Amino acid sequence: MFNVTVIGTGYVGLVSGTVFADKGNSVICLDIDEEKINRLLRGDVPIYEPGLQELVIRNMSSGRLDFTTDAKRAVQSSDIIFIAVGTPSAEDGSADLRYVQAVCRDIAQNMDRHKIIVNKSTVPVGTADKVKLWIEEHLEKDVPFDVVSCPEFLREGSAVRDSLNPDRIVIGGANPEAVKVLNKLHEPFDAPIIETDPRSAEMIKYASNAFLATKISFINEISNICEKVDADVTMVAQGIGLDKRIGSHFLKAGVGYGGSCFPKDTNALIQIAEDVDHDFELLKSVVKINSQQRLKVIEKLQQQLGRLEDKVIGILGLAFKPNTDDMREAPSVDVIHNLKEYNSKIKVYDPVAMAMARRVLPADVVYCDGIEELLQGVDAAVLLTEWEDFKTINWGLMKDKMHRPVVIDGRNVFDPEEMRAMGIQYSSFGRQNSQQILQELVNS
């Protein structure tokens, strides 16, 4: 068992620290945010993440997990230090490393003996070398250390499960001894371990996220064509996904991806490529398709309602995906701001993300307490997050509460035939029905 320090108690740091403690290690998590640390010390987890609160409390009670704002204590109590601070987007899309740099100074100034310093934050290729330089720059005495890159692949909403059962663990280090220690730390996770150099490890993280984002934009483009040729994108996704070389995941068409990783990391990789004079055209298209995809909601509303001015639109789901309250880069934000430009009236409901939403949505949005209140009197309902609660809405009953029975399904959750049978004017993504096409042909 190891003494581990994790610096940064965001999604990645808090979940990784807790999971390392759960595997029997002694873990201390450091953050500069005193309020957050005080909340954590009371067992109060500041983010919505299923299963995390219970796991934090269990490991704190067993004495394996602690939180502090004291950098000296955190650095000196461990042999392995994970850096898991944020790497937000700079203005040009590249990753801003100022927090990583600040942490390097803190580590260097408090280093008392050999440490393995591990980058868990998503950082540009070459950052492990920079971390080494930044630490050397601030070292007050000659203490040996190693820098290793060990990217994190957890998803929000299933972060605990993902961290306890990872598909793979990537360890990129120049010193085989340090790699061996990290290999041992990760042994209890029972996952394949890739040992590599730091730069390849850093690239693996960006390439993974860029590839997944590409899959989503690819299927969204196919869905746009499906609508025009009267094919069904869900069948197409199933048909291509059974080919093992393609795989069935990340082929759900809809309003596209959001969140704290895909938008940030795709832009960062475009910038990394640009820095070495490579024009990553493919990834640029992926990003462009994703931003256009959100606005398809407006087109679909216009097809159903005509002018959108003064129309009351009910938004079902605000978070960028279910099981999180995270609103970062959520499609709902763009859709709602766009609808405001058409002077529509907006009502919103999300089972978890309402408080977060208030920080980013326009002031005159109406916040509803539940599905029924949201649907009351709307000209259209737009589903943007596929929460389980929404999947069981009885539209046959609900349509009487609505001013018009229009539903735009941004996540292809409902069955088009069933919706139409209930009298709903239903639009989804890539599943245009033959009747509608026939009608258009008759009209033309």
5/260 with CB nearer ligand UDX: 260
> Reduced to 3 states, what is the DSSP secondary structure of residue 124?
coil
Judge whether 261 counts as a catalytic residue: yes
> Reduced to 3 states, what is the DSSP secondary structure of residue 345?
strand
**Rounded alpha-carbon distances, angstroms, from residue 262 to 169, 286, 380, 400, 444:** 20, 11, 29, 39, 41
- Closest CB 219 distance from ligand UDX, rounded Å: 7
Cβ atoms 312, 347 nearer than 8 A:
yes
Q: Is 321 annotated as a binding residue?
A: yes
Tell me the residue nearest to ligand UDX as measured from the CB. 261
Q: Is 264 annotated as a binding residue?
A: yes
Identify the active-site residue in 150, 226, 261, 368: 261
320/426 with CB nearer ligand UDX: 320
Q: Is 284 annotated as a binding residue?
A: no
**Rounded alpha-carbon distances, angstroms, from residue 437 to 104, 233, 307:** 60, 16, 21
The DSSP element (H or E) to which 357 belongs, if any, is: helix 354-360
Question: What residues are paired with 65 via a beta bridge?
Answer: 27
Please enumerate in sequence order all residues whose Cβ is within 8 A of that of 81, keeping only pairs 6 or more positions apart, or say none. 4, 5, 6, 7, 75, 107, 115, 116, 117, 118
> Reduced to 3 states, what is the DSSP secondary structure of residue 279?
coil
Q: What is the rounded CA–CA span in Å between residue 128 and residue 97?
A: 12
Q: What is the rounded CA–CA span in Å between residue 2 and residue 184?
A: 9
Q: What is the rounded CA–CA span in Å between residue 149 and residue 156?
A: 21
Read off the DSSP letter of residue 306: S
256/351 with CB nearer ligand UDX: 256
Please enumerate in sequence order all residues whose Cβ is within 8 A of that of 159, keeping only pairs 6 or more positions apart, or say none. 11, 15, 49, 52
- Closest CB 156 distance from ligand UDX, rounded Å: 4
Question: What residues are paired with 172 via a beta bridge?
Answer: 149, 196
311/321 with CB nearer ligand UDX: 321
Binding-site ranges for ligand UDX (CB under 6 A)? 152-156, 209, 212, 216, 250-252, 254, 256-259, 261-262, 320-321
Cβ atoms 354, 318 nearer than 8 A:
yes
Q: What is the rounded CA–CA span in Å between residue 402 and residue 398?
A: 7
- Closest CB 62 distance from ligand UDX, rounded Å: 28
Q: What is the rounded CA–CA span in Å between residue 251 and residue 262?
A: 15
Extract the annotated binding site for NAD(+): 31, 36, 87, 122, 156, 264, 328
Extract the annotated binding site: 31, 36, 87, 122, 153-156, 205, 250-254, 258, 264, 321, 328
Q: Please identify every residue annotated as catalytic.
A: 261
